[in-house]
A = this chain, B = another copy of it.
Amino acid sequence: MAQRGQSDAAGRSRRAPAENAAEITTPMPAIGGNGLRDRARAIPEAAVARLAVYLRVLSGMREQGVGSVSSEELSVAAGVNSAKLRKDLSYIGSYGTRGVGYEVEVLVDQIERVLGLTREQSVAVVGIGNLGHALANYGGFPGRGFPVTALFDVDPDLMGVPVGGIPVAHIDDIPSVCAAREVTIGVIATPPPAAQAVCDRLVEAGVECILNFAPVVLQVPETVEVRKVDLAVELQILSFHVARRADHAPAEDATPAQRVNGVANPNGVAVRR
C-alpha cells in the first residue's frame, strides 16, 4: 500500500480531514529534554513499507558478513533512490557515519526497534483453506518475528488437525486462544461472506491489527488497523497496463521482445513503457 492513507466514508461524522494524512502523525507533546530516545515520530507510511524492505536486504547482508553499507549501495539493493533511502533512515534517527556509511548491525537493530520487531508479534490465521494452509505452512514468518500461534476455522473436519504444526481450533475459541497466546495480528483467509463476522470476532478478542485476504471492505473500530491484500485487484492493475499498451501502441515494431535488461527496476514497481 501501498498503498497510502485514505479517506473517510462520506456521510459519516466527517472526521478531521487531518486524519487523512498518510503521515503517522505524532507530534510528541514536545516533552522537555527527554533526549533523543523518542524523537519526533512522524514516519510516512510509505517510508515504513520501505524500511521493511531495507531490513530484509540488510539482514541478507549481515548474513553474508557485510559490516557496513553506504546509502548508495543499499539503495540499489533495495531498488530505491538513494536520497529517498537516506530520508527514510533519517526518520528513525542518525545512525550513519558521514564519509563512511552505515553499520549493518546498527541499522538492522534500529529498524527492528522502530517496526516493533523486538517484541514478537503473535499471528493468528482464520480460514484454513487453500490460502490459510499456505500461510500456516510458510516458514518465512516465524524467522522474521511473526510466529503463527493460532489457526481457526469452522470446518468440523479440520478441528484439531495440525497444519504447520499447529492444531486448528474453532472460531468460537478465538477470544480465549487469542488472549492466551497474546495474538496481536489476525489474518483473515475465509470466504468473503464470512470475513466481516470473523473480523468482528477478532476485534472483540482484542486483536488490533488485521491482514485481510478476502475481497471485501471490512468495517472496524477506529482503534483497529486493517491492511488488505487483494490479488484480483493486483491482476486487474496489471491487466490495465496490458490494455494501455495494446491500444496505445497498436503497431509495435517487429521484434516482439528486444530486452533492455540490466536496467534497474527501482523497487520492483512498475516501470512505464
**Other than the known A3-B5, A116-B242, what 5 A-B pairs have Cβ atoms closer than 8 Å?**
A4-B10, A10-B45, A123-B235, A218-B265, A221-B265
Residue of chain B at shortest CB distance from A257: B206
Whether B1 pairs with A228 at a CB distance below 8 angstroms is: yes
A230 to chain B, nearest CB (A): 7
Interface string of A246-271 (1 = CB under 8 A from B): 11100000001101111111111111
Residue of chain B at shortest CB distance from A117: B239
Please, which residues of chain B bring their CB within 8 A of the CB of A200?
261
Please, which residues of chain B bring their CB within 8 A of the CB of A25?
272
Contact of A256 among B206, B218, B240, B242 (CB under 8 A): B206
Given A9-B79, A134-B134, A272-B19, verify A239-B2 contact (CB < 8 Å). Answer: no
Provide 22 A-B residue pairs closer than 8 Å at the C-beta atoms, listed in order of the A residue: A2-B14, A3-B9, A4-B8, A5-B229, A6-B49, A8-B264, A9-B266, A11-B49, A11-B76, A12-B266, A13-B49, A24-B241, A115-B236, A116-B242, A117-B239, A121-B242, A146-B235, A219-B261, A220-B263, A221-B260, A221-B265, A229-B229
Please, which residues of chain B bring their CB within 8 A of the CB of A216?
1, 268
Distance A265 CA – B200 CA, assembled complex (angstroms): 13
Per assembly, the copies of the chain total 2
Whether B237 pairs with A48 at a CB distance below 8 angstroms is: yes
Whether B13 pairs with A46 at a CB distance below 8 angstroms is: yes
* Interface size in chain A (residues, C-beta < 8 A): 127
Whether A211 pairs with B238 at a CB distance below 8 angstroms is: yes
A251 to chain B, nearest CB (A): 14
Cβ of A101 within 8 Å of any chain B Cβ, yes or no, is no
Cβ of A145 within 8 Å of any chain B Cβ, yes or no, is yes
Among A4, A215, A242, A264, the one with the most B-chain Cβ atoms within 10 Å of its Cβ is: A4
Cβ of A223 within 8 Å of any chain B Cβ, yes or no, is yes
Cβ of A38 within 8 Å of any chain B Cβ, yes or no, is yes
Given A52-B236, A222-B273, A232-B52, verify A76-B10 contact (CB < 8 Å). Answer: yes
Which A45-102 residues have a C-beta within 8 angstroms of B?
45-46, 48-49, 52-53, 55-57, 72, 75-84
